[in-house]
Structure formats: C-alpha cells, structure tokens
C-alpha cells in the first residue's frame, strides 16, 4: 500500500479544481455559442418573415356588417 502525503493530497485537490474550472469554461463556451446561434437564427427568421409580409399586400377590410347581427 502506498502512503499518501499531505502534499500529494493537495496536488490531487488542485488537479480536481483545475479540471472543474476547465469543464466549467467549456460548458460556458458551449452555452454562449448555442445562445449566439439561436440569436442569429431568430434574427434571420424575423427578416424572412418581415420580407414575406411586405410582399403580400394587406387585404382591405370589408365595411359591410355581418349578416344576422
């Protein structure tokens, strides 16, 4: 059996902390990139919808009252 010194224990703790920080950084980068992709897609879809709405002329509203009222 290998004896673990306090120094070795601290190193492993520091290593775990470093790995956690790296993992957190990767997760935040993935979150930000997904957020930016969603923002870009939403912007593109909004522009497409507005372009379609400009192409279609607005229907004139009928001024005749509905029958039976």
Confidence of residue 8 (pLDDT cuts 50, 70, 90): low
Residue 12 resides in a domain: yes
| E-only strand ranges, 1-69 | none
Torsion of CA 26, 31, 36, 37, to 10 degrees: 100
Q: For the segment 14-65, what is each residue's pLDDT rounded down to a tens digit? A: 899 999 999 999 999 999 999 999 999 999 999 999 999 998 876 766 677 7
Q: What total number of domains does the chain contain?
A: 1
Question: What's the domain range around 26?
Answer: 7-52
The answer to whether residue 23 is domain-embedded is yes
Does residue 58 form part of some domain?
Answer: no
CA distance 10 to 37: 40
Residue 62 lies in a domain: no
Residue 47 domain-assigned?
A: yes
Q: 1 in a domain, yes or no? A: no
Task: Quote the pLDDT of residue 37.
Answer: 98
Q: Is residue 25 part of a domain?
A: yes
The whole-number average pLDDT for the span 7-17 is: 79
User: What phi and psi, each to the nearest 5 degrees, are found at residue 24?
Assistant: -65, -40
């Amino acid at each position: 059996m290998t004896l673990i010194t306090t120094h070795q224990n601290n190193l492993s703790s520091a290593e775990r902390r470093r790995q956690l920080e790296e993992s957190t950084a990767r997760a935040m980068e993935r979150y930000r990139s997904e957020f930016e992709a969603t923002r870009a897609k939403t912007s593109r879809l909004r522009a497409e919808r507005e372009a379609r709405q400009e192409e279609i002329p607005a229907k004139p509203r009928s001024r005749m009252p509905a029958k039976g009222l």
